[in-house]
Chains A and B, each alone.
Chain A
Amino acid sequence: MTGCAVAAATVAVLLPYGGGGGGRTAPVAASRTAPGARDTAVRAPATCTDPEASLRPSTADGPAVRRVKERGRLIAGVDQNSYRWGYRDPATGELSGFDIDLVRAVAKAILGDPDKVTFLAIPTNQRIPALQKGKVDIVVRTMTVNCDRVRQVAFSTAYFEAGQQVLAPKGSPVTAFDDSLRGKKVCTAKGSTGESELRREAHGASVLTVPNQLDCLVRLQLGQVDAVVTDSALAAGQAAQDPSVRLVGKPFTTESYGVAMNLRDEDLVRRVNAVLEDYRRGGGESPWMLAYRKWLAADLKGITAPPEPKYRD
């Protein structure tokens, strides 16, 4: 993702600090000097040109991996509200989804048991503080890797690639993030990338912001808005809950999801990257593709392979 610094700066200027939001919370200028970014083992690159580049995989135990092993449980910060990614099935009370499967794979690799996980449901704006305070070992919560965040937390290699996209009812005149939005009402989560993109270029649409991306589907079903802007991964979760809506047009941004960890936990970052290497391996029958087909393929079509990992060392 080139031009990331420019994009981050633009977003930081455009976007006031918004409270919660289930969508991508855009980078915030003030958080650049956030505590926890100092005295770290893993130095963030001085100039941010490729935030997705992570540390080479390794299975050697360091202090962080030993901490998890001694505890006997992996503590993972996840979402409970993102259908197909991390959500609690009201019928069974069990957490499930693409992110949850990935957490279990990490637990299986480190502790030998995919169930030795304590899932902590953390709100969007608590993802970074929870890591910095050591409340969780890893955050797997549709979290976008970007220049601003790599100064505060360490990311694994990208495990998914998504982008902002438009969701509209089938048969709607809205066909993409373009002038077909003119005169329409568009919903997006407060503080999300979608909001800043709409603020930059609304294509003549009026914008309604709501606390959580899923609230947009409620408004759409009630006829209060004509379309939703959110990232394709979450939009797929919305489409999965309502067969009468679909993703339209192409994603108009690119966002990579990474597993976030504390900047100090270098060994854990390498270990998770090793898990991801295994996860991607196997072509069409890789664990990654199995998880994709299980959770996402129905509504997020056309993906044939996981994103390629990038390393910086």
Chain B
Amino acid sequence: MSRAQPDPGERRAAWREGLDRLRAAATTEPGRLRVIGAALAALLVAFGGVTAWQVTSRAAAADAVVTHSQPLSADAADIYRSLADADTAAATGFLAGGREPRAVRQRYENDISVAARLLAEAAAGTDADAPAGRQIATLTEQLPVYTGLVEQARAAGRQGLPLGGAYLRYASDRMREQLLPAAQSLYVAETLRLESDYDDATAWPWAALATGVAALGALGWAQRRTYLRTHRVFNHGLVGATAAATVTLLWLTAGHGVASAGLSSSRDHGARALQVLNEARIASLQARGDESLTLVARGAVLTAEGEDAYEAGYQDEMQRLTGRVVVGERHGETDTEGLLGRARSLTGGPGRERTEAVLRDVTEWQRRHRSARAADESGYYDRALPEVIGEKNSTGEMFDRVDAGLRQALVLEQKRFRTAADDGRGALTGLAAGAAVLALLGATAAVLGVGRRLSEYR
């Protein structure tokens, strides 16, 4: 600091002069009244300003929840789902060999194009250096590698070469080891952003509330002082200011309370239910993929315990879905309720009915799966295959029902989320502007009220 500082002596003198003037003013009643009037006006303006600022930032966060972070989180879930679905469709189509149903092929192609489109959209809305941006880059790079491997598998499979199965397993490994983890990280990043927007939107505006209470306290004190000195009960200006401050404070409390309640409800029931339903859908997809790959791999890949790796994967995913048994080490968590159980308690109305129907369908799926496995393990591959990929009385039929049920539940919950979130957002409408206007009116009234008293000294 080489710049010359003001002479400290001079600065202290100026400061002391101001203080002296204030002290001199405070020794006379008009002087005191001027100070009180200015302080009240300043407090009320501050209250209005802080309220408008805090409410605006909460409204912006609430808007971000509805228009930005929730859709991005849902898109990320969709990317994950499309990829998992593509892998499942690829395995199912491969099992059917040369008789691959057209619908299965279309499902695969549709999944890949949806994933590619959502990835392009997500890339446009994300900073490339952010964690989400890196995941998007990985996904964009790996997706064509994956589809190339699937085509190799199909080509070899159609020639009757076991190599096709090896290619399909390799493709599926790439999907599970690279693409899905990246999609999962993307989903986690987007969901964290959603949670953070929720936190911002529902945080109590403590600063606004505190200045409001301070302004009301100061107004009360000023009126009591006036009453003690003049024995006049009402000073219209101060009463008006008090009314304005009270209305603002009540509006702020009620408005924020209602908004917060709406948003919290959309978070607890809507967004959380959507997350759990999305996870359940992905778990069912992976269970289906594992089920198909069990027949593709035919015991070529085993776990450390010597069990079929894909059958073990199917059992893991089923446990994630239905709970009941402690979830395996693969997921490192204990969950006796399962994703569907949690979805059931988070959803409501028709969404819950759908979830309950899904739970019944999963049970039937598991029954048919056991039957198909028993047939395959007894050496009756020919009998097991239609039990898995057939149109009727197959595990595939139950998987399709589970997937459709979860999709419907997701649509219903998305609506519920939007309704609750919009109700919450609506409660903040006009609050920022109203608080600013009311505070200005209150400040004017306070100044007028004090001025009225001041005029008595002229």
Are B300 and A22 within 8 A (Cβ)?
yes
The verdict on B308 contacting chain A, using a C-beta distance below 8 Å, is yes
Stretch at the interface among A115-123, A198-206, A275-283: A115-123
Which residues of A, 55-101, contact B by the 8 Å Cβ criterion? 75, 80-83, 87-93
Are A214 and B300 within 8 A (Cβ)?
yes
Q: Which residue of B lies closest to A212 (CB)?
A: B300
The verdict on B165 contacting chain A, using a C-beta distance below 8 Å, is yes
The verdict on A19 contacting chain B, using a C-beta distance below 8 Å, is yes
The verdict on A172 contacting chain B, using a C-beta distance below 8 Å, is no
Q: Which A residues are CB-close (under 8 A) to B298?
A: 80-81, 88, 121
The verdict on A217 contacting chain B, using a C-beta distance below 8 Å, is yes
A218-B170 contact in complex given A91-B160, A121-B379, C-beta closer than 8 Å:
yes
Q: Which B residues are CB-close (under 8 A) to A92?
A: 160
The verdict on B167 contacting chain A, using a C-beta distance below 8 Å, is yes
The verdict on B169 contacting chain A, using a C-beta distance below 8 Å, is yes
Are B163 and A242 within 8 A (Cβ)?
yes
The verdict on A125 contacting chain B, using a C-beta distance below 8 Å, is yes
Please, what's the 1-or-0 string for A104-126, where 1 marks a CB less than 8 Å from any CB in chain B? 00000000000000111111011
Q: Which A residues are CB-close (under 8 A) to B210?
A: none
A241-B382 contact in complex given A20-B300, A212-B300, C-beta closer than 8 Å:
no
Smallest beta-carbon distance A297→chain B, Å: 18
The verdict on A36 contacting chain B, using a C-beta distance below 8 Å, is no
The verdict on A215 contacting chain B, using a C-beta distance below 8 Å, is yes
The verdict on B236 contacting chain A, using a C-beta distance below 8 Å, is no
Q: Which of A19, A80, A90, A123 contacts B157 (CB 8 A)?
A: A90
Are A90 and B301 within 8 A (Cβ)?
no
A19-B303 contact in complex given A81-B165, A82-B162, C-beta closer than 8 Å:
yes
Query: A117 CA to B212 CA in the complex, in Å?
Result: 88
Query: A209 CA to B285 CA in the complex, in Å?
Result: 29
Q: Which A residues are CB-close (under 8 A) to B4?
A: none
Q: Which of B299, B308, B382 contacts A80 (CB 8 A)?
A: B299
Smallest beta-carbon distance A72→chain B, Å: 15
Q: Which A residues are CB-close (under 8 A) to B19?
A: none
Q: Which B residues are CB-close (under 8 A) to A83?
A: 161-163
Q: Which A residues are CB-close (under 8 A) to B381?
A: 80, 88, 93, 119, 121
A123-B299 contact in complex given A82-B162, A83-B161, A241-B162, C-beta closer than 8 Å:
yes
Query: A221 CA to B379 CA in the complex, in Å?
Result: 32
Smallest beta-carbon distance B398→chain A, Å: 23
The verdict on B9 contacting chain A, using a C-beta distance below 8 Å, is no
Are B97 and A93 within 8 A (Cβ)?
yes
A20-B301 contact in complex given A120-B379, A215-B169, A241-B163, C-beta closer than 8 Å:
yes
The verdict on A211 contacting chain B, using a C-beta distance below 8 Å, is yes
Query: A88 CA to B191 CA in the complex, in Å?
Result: 45
Q: Which of A93, A118, A123, A221 contacts B302 (CB 8 A)?
A: A123
Smallest beta-carbon distance A94→chain B, Å: 9
Are B299 and A20 within 8 A (Cβ)?
yes
Are B379 and A212 within 8 A (Cβ)?
no
Q: Which A residues are CB-close (under 8 A) to B308?
A: 123
Q: Which A residues are CB-close (under 8 A) to B162?
A: 80-83, 87-88, 214, 237, 241
Query: A88 CA to B97 CA in the complex, in Å?
Result: 11
Please, what's the 1-or-0 string for B379-401, where 1 marks a CB less than 8 Å from any CB in chain A? 11110010000000000000000
Smallest beta-carbon distance A209→chain B, Å: 13
Count B interface residues, CB 8 Å: 35
Which residues of B, 155-182, contact A by the 8 Å Cβ criterion? 156-158, 160-167, 169-170
The verdict on B124 contacting chain A, using a C-beta distance below 8 Å, is no
Query: A304 CA to B298 CA in the complex, in Å?
Result: 33
Q: Which of B157, B163, B306, B382 contacts A125 (CB 8 A)?
A: B306
Are A241 and B156 within 8 A (Cβ)?
yes
Smallest beta-carbon distance B162→chain A, Å: 5
Q: Which B residues are CB-close (under 8 A) to A19?
A: 302-304, 306
Query: A104 CA to B158 CA in the complex, in Å?
Result: 26
Are B299 and A126 within 8 A (Cβ)?
yes
Q: Which B residues are CB-close (under 8 A) to A215?
A: 166, 169-170
Q: Which residue of B lies closest to A86 (CB)?
A: B162
Are A217 and B301 within 8 A (Cβ)?
no
Smallest beta-carbon distance A85→chain B, Å: 10
Q: Which of A80, A91, A120, A241 contacts B378 (CB 8 A)?
A: A120
Q: Which of B158, B166, B378, B379 contacts A218 (CB 8 A)?
A: B166
Report which residue of A19, A87, A126 has the largest number of chain B beta carbons within 10 angstroms of its beta carbon. A19
Q: Which A residues are CB-close (under 8 A) to B303?
A: 19
Which residues of B, 127-162, contact A by the 8 Å Cβ criterion? 152, 156-158, 160-162
Q: Which A residues are CB-close (under 8 A) to B165?
A: 81, 90, 214
Are A119 and B379 within 8 A (Cβ)?
yes
Query: A19 CA to B382 CA in the complex, in Å?
Result: 27
The verdict on B98 contacting chain A, using a C-beta distance below 8 Å, is yes
Are A75 and B379 within 8 A (Cβ)?
yes
Query: A75 CA to B377 CA in the complex, in Å?
Result: 12
Report which residue of B298, B304, B309 has the largest number of chain A beta carbons within 10 angstroms of its beta carbon. B298
Query: A20 CA to B378 CA in the complex, in Å?
Result: 20
A241-B301 contact in complex given A91-B98, A118-B379, C-beta closer than 8 Å:
no
Are B300 and A81 within 8 A (Cβ)?
yes
Smallest beta-carbon distance A219→chain B, Å: 8
Q: Which A residues are CB-close (under 8 A) to B309?
A: 20
Query: A218 CA to B167 CA in the complex, in Å?
Result: 6
A211-B160 contact in complex given A123-B308, A218-B170, C-beta closer than 8 Å:
no
Smallest beta-carbon distance A115→chain B, Å: 13
Query: A88 CA to B295 CA in the complex, in Å?
Result: 11
Are B302 and A20 within 8 A (Cβ)?
yes
Smallest beta-carbon distance A19→chain B, Å: 5
**Cross-chain pairs A/B with CB under 8 angstroms, 25 sampled:** A19-B302, A19-B303, A75-B379, A80-B299, A81-B299, A83-B163, A90-B98, A90-B157, A90-B158, A91-B97, A92-B160, A93-B385, A118-B380, A120-B377, A121-B376, A121-B381, A123-B306, A211-B301, A212-B166, A214-B163, A214-B165, A214-B166, A215-B170, A217-B163, A218-B170
Additional A-B contact list (19), CB under 8 Å, known A93-B97, A121-B381, A238-B163 = A88-B162, A88-B298, A89-B160, A90-B165, A91-B160, A93-B381, A119-B381, A120-B379, A122-B299, A123-B299, A123-B308, A211-B302, A214-B166, A215-B166, A217-B163, A217-B166, A218-B170, A241-B156, A241-B161
Sort A-B residue pairs by CB-CB distance and give the 5 closest, nearest first: A20-B302, A123-B299, A120-B379, A90-B97, A80-B298
Q: List chain A positions with a Cβ less than 8 A from chain B.
A: 19-20, 22, 75, 80-83, 87-93, 118-123, 125-126, 211-212, 214-215, 217-218, 221, 237-238, 241-242
